[in-house]
Chains A and B, each alone.
Chain A
Amino acid sequence: METKDILQNLVSGIAIGSTYGLIGLGVVFLWQSIERINFANISSAMLSAYLFYTFYSEIGMGFFISFVLSVGIVALYGLGLRYLIHEPITKRGGGRLEFVVATLMICVLWLNVIIVFYGGLPKPFPPVFGKATDFVRFAGVSLPVVYFYIFLVVAILMAFLHFLLRKTLVGKSLRATAQNKEVAQLMGVNVNLTTSLAFMLSTTVVGIAGILLAPIYFVSLELGGGSIGIKGFSAAVMAGLIDPYGAVVGGILLGIIENFSTLFISSTYRDVISFLILVAVLIFKPKGIFVWSLHRD
């Protein structure tokens, strides 16, 4: 095998892995701010992609307006999740598991709603990030243009979320709220606001991801569940749900593992291999690969 091919495989792995990381960012962010795993969040990617498709390709609005509109609607969707799902469940004494099940079912719900309105056929995404045959070539390696947009956005979002969570008071208040809502209030944190912010920002991040991923995943049901959801989730969990950087690195690692197990072992068993590695990582580093500090009781 030529080194050029191996390099190409590596680059493709990083590229596809960064799409997992992009979804993982939303997962980490929500976990850090309300300690919940929200499967309905995955739907935001699909919703924003379909919305953008409708606004841009079907109605013919401009790129910018379509983008803002679809991401804005998805942000509101986050707010809806909070008030229609999270709050009522918490109020009636439901825990995390109930939340997981409810959001999983919302995920299924959206898939079926999309089928009713758009049918099951994947739609081609308009070539706003370059055409299907536009590639950037360098050093014998090539990559579709859209990935450069993805890298850019991943870098920006990752840095932004990290900065928000770790460096700003707002972010620290978000995390404080997740850990002890009552005491956070005693500190004067507007828990109401931070919770809404947490939901809206996490759907927004995944919503932006949806539009960027659509050229690769197509405007399709796949954006709303199934493998990308599980892989985004894995990316976040590999990093211990702690840090946005971790989510991206976790995603990229997953992408590389997948591509190399295809190349060197077997394309049929690539999922088995990457999942086994994931499980092994979790067993040997139960809090994620990037977490070293020991917590006690």
Chain B
Amino acid sequence: MSLLKIRNLAVSYNGIPALKKVSFEINKGEVVSVLGPNGAGKTTLLRAISGLVKCEKESEILYKGKNIVGLQAYKIARMGIAHVPEGRQVFPDLSVQENLEVASVLTSLNRRSGKIQKVYELFQELNSRKNQPAGTLSGGEQQMLAIGRALVSDSELIMVDEPSMGLAPVIISRIFKTLRQIVQEQNLTLLLVEQNAKLSLPLSDRIYVLSQGRIVLSGTVDEVKDSDLIRQMYFARE
């Protein structure tokens, strides 16, 4: 059964449509990538799922069979959907440790510190900055923290908006390795928005390509890998 099923999702800003009747689904345990040029509506898609933007009437977002359209964002988060927003939005005046603690609200008490410890192991850069206000971290450190926050929650579906943005190559490969690992180990589901197709494709089971608010291409990685569209968009110079 599909974990997340979206039908006719439409979103518009001030009357200008950003998503036009998008439909797709994600099965449990899958890694799905969403690709698309700037302004395609990728971020909007994630924001609509987590309840941060209003959808048009006919939209349907079924999570575990339950329609979550119109629910408040925190309720959606509590159902097990984690969202790493675009542009590393940390709580600037909270320390690194406190940022992670707030994110562990939904985790059962006895596992919180263990999960936080895991994040520090994954991102040693953060370990030495536990008590630094997150607003003073470097760009990449903030991005690590933002991803780390999603990892400490007990969510089943993790949506990540451009995780590689601003990270050093070593870290990026580390992150993608980790993502692959935890998806397998903990039977998580991952919805990935990532411009770096070279990184995200090997990780993904299926791919959707968005353009101007519509899904223009979809399929398993092998099906779409050689399509002109993908080549042109992501591997043009190689």
Contact = CB atoms under 8 A, between A and B. Distances in A.
Interface of A: 169, 172-173, 175-176, 179-180, 182-192, 293-297
A167 B162 CA distance: 32
Contacts of B149: 187
A186 B77 contact: yes
Contact of B85 (A183, A188, A191, A293): A183
Nearest 5 A/B pairs, CB to CB:
A185-B73, A188-B77, A179-B91, A185-B74, A176-B102
B103 interface: yes
B98 interface: yes
A172 B94 contact: yes
Contacts of B103: 187
B136 A296 contact: yes
B102 A169 contact: yes
Contacts of A295: 92-93, 133, 135-136
Nearest to A182: B52
A190 B133 CA distance: 23
A155 to B, nearest CB: 25
Contacts of B51: 185
B78 interface: yes
Interface in B61-93: 72-74, 77-78, 82-83, 85, 89-93
Contacts of A173: 102, 105
Contacts of A189: 74, 102, 105
Contacts of B6: none
Contacts of B89: 180, 182-183
B106 interface: yes
Contacts of B106: 187-188
A186 B78 contact: no
Nearest to B73: A185
Interface string B179-197: 0000000000000000000
A191 B74 contact: yes
Given A183-B90, A192-B72, 9 more contacts: A169-B104, A172-B98, A175-B93, A180-B89, A180-B91, A185-B52, A186-B85, A188-B77, A295-B92
